Structure 1
Amino acid sequence: MNEIMAAIVAVKALILGLGGGITYIAHRAYHRTGDPSLGLLRVGFGIVTFGALFTGAINMFYSVSLPLGVLVNSTFVAAGLAVILYSLYVQD
């Protein structure tokens, strides 16, 4: 494993930890309050976090091309951010 690959693994692990923490806190807040916007926030951050994990795994185990990996990761990020944005507009 070269230095770049090791750095990618480290950053993906950091994203997984931080995103998982945010998702968990949003999940707890949603169950405590029942606020639908917090439920959507949880889903949005979960999508972003899962996308980082998924694209990291396919890059490691299936050796997909860099452009395809970036496209897949960007798709997850865009979908997650769309859900997060929508969560900011949801009214009770």
Structure 2
Amino acid sequence: GITYIAYRAYRRTGVPSLRMLGIGFGIITFGALLAGIAHQVLSVSLEMGILINSVLVAIGLGIIMYSLYLERE
């Protein structure tokens, strides 16, 4: 839901930080989905699923942090 709201806000205002915020939350969401699917469907070990999720959450949080420092135009 937050990803969608950030995307809509970006489309309405055109502020780059909102775009980056949406991308960051999207990566976090994608990481959770990918880790769950990899573990349940592809029979990846639980440890590898947690690693996939953790790496993508770290990337997503880094992008969210970056969005906080973008200058407004």
TM score, norm. by length of structure 2: 0.95
State the 4+ residue runs in structure 1 displaced beyond 4 angstroms: none
Structure 1: runs of 5+ lacking an equivalent: 1-20
Structure showing greater Rg: 1
**1:26 paired to 2:6:** yes
Structure having greater relative contact order (Cα 8 Å, sep ≥ 6): 2
- Paired with 1:50 and 1:69, the residues of 2 have a C-alpha distance of 13
Alignment correspondent of 2:54: 74
Root mean square deviation of aligned Cα:
0.6
TM score, norm. by length of structure 1: 0.76
- Paired with 1:82 and 1:45, the residues of 2 have a C-alpha distance of 10
Deviations 1:44-90 (A, max 9, x none): 00000011111111111111111111111000100000000000000
Count of matched residue pairs? 72
